[in-house]
Amino acid sequence: MTTGNEAEPLLVYITAANEEEAARIGRALVEEGLCACANVLGSVRSFYRWKGEVQDDREVALVAKTLAGRLDEVTARVRALHSYEIPCVVALPITGGNPEFLGWLAAEAGGRRD
């Protein structure tokens, strides 16, 4: 679901089963122009409830930088590439930062590459 401002920069937090999956997803998002950049952050320990039981698993965190107007496409692409039945894809607004970086992010994530 997109936010009100299509040009709003976002950080999209994604978890993956392992580093290879996170890298594959991150690379695809950047190659396809859906995100300006993706960072594979490494191993995290995740606790969550799944099908009535508390799980304790190792996952890999991935952060992608994009625009609000691309969020639905990013989410759909992650879902298509991901091994999880319900992958974590959550967006956080970027409320400030280096203006040159934010301009670069907007230019890279804003253009369509077909």
pLDDT by 10-residue block (mean), the chain, 114 residues: 78 98 98 97 95 97 97 98 97 96 94 53
Q: For the chain, what is the domain count?
A: 1
Asked, for residue 28, whether it belongs to a domain, the answer is: yes
Q: CB neighbours (10 Å) of residue 110?
A: 15
- CATH number, domain of 68, equals 3.30.70.120
Asked, for residue 60, whether it belongs to a domain, the answer is: yes
Find the domain containing 22 and state its range.
Answer: 9-110
Report the pLDDT value the prediction gives residue 78, as an integer from 0 to 100.
Answer: 98
Q: How far is CA 25 from CA 53, 60, 94, in A?
A: 28, 12, 21
Asked, for residue 3, whether it belongs to a domain, the answer is: no
Asked, for residue 1, whether it belongs to a domain, the answer is: no
Asked, for residue 4, whether it belongs to a domain, the answer is: no
Q: How far is CA 50 from CA 4, 24, 46, 82, 84, in A?
A: 32, 25, 12, 17, 12
Asked, for residue 65, whether it belongs to a domain, the answer is: yes
Report the pLDDT value the prediction gives residue 110, as an integer from 0 to 100.
Answer: 86
Asked, for residue 68, whether it belongs to a domain, the answer is: yes
pTM: 0.91
